């Protein structure tokens, strides 16, 4: 059993500071375990959001030594022994207290995305989809809405004013899932170009780097959406072909 020093941010929207807590951390623990030890022994009033402790609920997002991570999936042996481990709240959303932020921006954005609109059912009243057609969407369904991708995206992380005109990577994943769905009839291309602001993404792939579900956000969601927008708005050959063939 080793002693570790956790340098945890304590404060609220009015300000705060990092406070060092030294506790025992048995081998095999993750950052969230140690945060719980601190909360149980040294700082009963420490605010931290968590739920499943298994990397599936997306609640315990934080910045550990400056990197956006799920605390429950970050093993303590990642860090060099003897050095304090800094744990801070995520940057992109307003701080409520200590490690807890207000992520309601994301729920407001979610409401702006037109829901799944299936085509009419087949003659027997059912829908049929082949597995090959839903494989792509299943990757996107892995999203646990931890919002680490939203946190790390510099478009809103470094420019909060852009939240008015940029949905963020999590919602490009959602839009890609809907747009690529074989049964969906809704056309969201104009929304993707304009309201969602896909042109603001400069594909630096930080969202992909931090995704705990290993969703290839940039390659499989954002870039395909950019290409679909280019099909519609920036490709005269496709436009002419569509006019000639009626497609």
204 token code pair: 């630096």
The sign of the CA dihedral 215, 31, 204, 93 is: positive
Q: Is 115 in the site for other proteins (CB under 8 A)?
A: no
Question: Given candidates 2, 40, 52, 230, which one binds other proteins under the rule CB under 8 A?
Answer: 230
Question: Given candidates 36, 49, 157, 170, which one binds other proteins under the rule CB under 8 A?
Answer: 157
C-alpha distances in angstroms, 113 versus 52, 116, 133, 178, 228?
28, 9, 22, 10, 17
* Strand, coil or helix: 134: helix
Of 18 and 23, the one with the shorter C-beta distance to other proteins is 18
Q: Is 152 in the site for other proteins (CB under 8 A)?
A: yes
Quick one: DSSP state of residue 116?
P
236 token code pair: 């005269």
CB within 8 A of 104, min separation 6: which ones?
Answer: none
Of 6 and 229, the one with the shorter C-beta distance to other proteins is 229
Give the x/- contact pattern for other proteins in 11-50, rule: CB under 8 A: xxx-xxxx--------------------------------
Binding range to other proteins, per CB under 8 A, among 22-30, 37-45, 70-78, 226-234: 226-234
Q: How far is the CB of 120 from other proteins (least distance, A)?
A: 15
Return phi, psi of residue 158, to 5°: -95, -10
Q: Using CA atoms, how far apart are residues 9 and 35, in angstroms rounded to an integer?
A: 11
Q: Using CA atoms, how far apart are residues 208 and 215, in angstroms rounded to an integer?
A: 7
Binding range to other proteins, per CB under 8 A, among 27-35, 51-59, 138-146, 174-182: 174-182
Q: Is 159 in the site for other proteins (CB under 8 A)?
A: yes
CB 34 within 8 A of CB 74: no
Tell which positions 186-215 bind other proteins, by CB under 8 A: 197, 199-206, 209-210
Return phi, psi of residue 15, to 5°: 135, 175
Question: Given candidates 20, 78, 154, 242, which one binds other proteins under the rule CB under 8 A?
Answer: 154
Residues β-bridged to residue 18: 9
Maximum distance among all Cα pairs of the chain, rounded to whole angstroms:
73
- How many chain residues touch other proteins (CB under 8 A)? 68
Q: How far is the CB of 103 from other proteins (least distance, A)?
A: 9
Q: Is 126 in the site for other proteins (CB under 8 A)?
A: no
Which residues sit at the interface with other proteins, rule CB under 8 A?
9, 11-13, 15-18, 63, 65-68, 86, 88-89, 91-95, 104-105, 108-109, 112, 130, 132-133, 152, 154-155, 157-164, 179-182, 184, 197, 199-206, 209-210, 219, 223-224, 226-231, 233-235
């Amino acid at each position: 059993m080793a002693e570790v020093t956790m340098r945890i941010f304590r404060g609220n929207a009015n300000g705060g500071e990092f406070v060092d807590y030294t506790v025992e951390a048995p081998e095999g623990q993750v950052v969230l375990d140690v945060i719980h030890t601190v909360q149980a022994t040294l700082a009963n009033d420490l605010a931290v959001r968590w739920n499943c402790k298994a990397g599936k609920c997306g609640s315990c997002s934080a910045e550990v030594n400056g990197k956006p991570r799920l605390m429950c999936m970050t093993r303590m042996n990642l860090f060099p022994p003897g050095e304090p481990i800094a744990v801070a709240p995520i940057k992109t959303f307003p701080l409520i207290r200590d490690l807890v932020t207000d992520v309601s921006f994301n729920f407001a954005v979610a409401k702006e995305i037109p829901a799944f609109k299936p085509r009419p059912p087949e003659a027997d009243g059912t829908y049929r989809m082949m597995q090959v057609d839903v494989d792509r969407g299943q990757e996107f369904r892995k999203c646990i809405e931890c919002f680490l991708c939203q946190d790390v995206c510099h478009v809103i992380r470094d420019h909060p004013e852009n939240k008015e005109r940029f949905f963020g990577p999590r919602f490009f994943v959602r839009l890609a899932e809907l747009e690529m769905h074989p049964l969906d009839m809704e056309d969201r291309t104009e929304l993707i170009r304009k309201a969602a602001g896909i042109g603001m993404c400069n594909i630096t792939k930080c969202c992909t780097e931090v995704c705990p579900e290993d969703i290839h956000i940039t390659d499989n969601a954002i870039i395909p959406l950019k290409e679909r927008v280019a099909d519609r708005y920036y490709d005269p050959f496709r436009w002419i072909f569509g006019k000639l063939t009626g497609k």
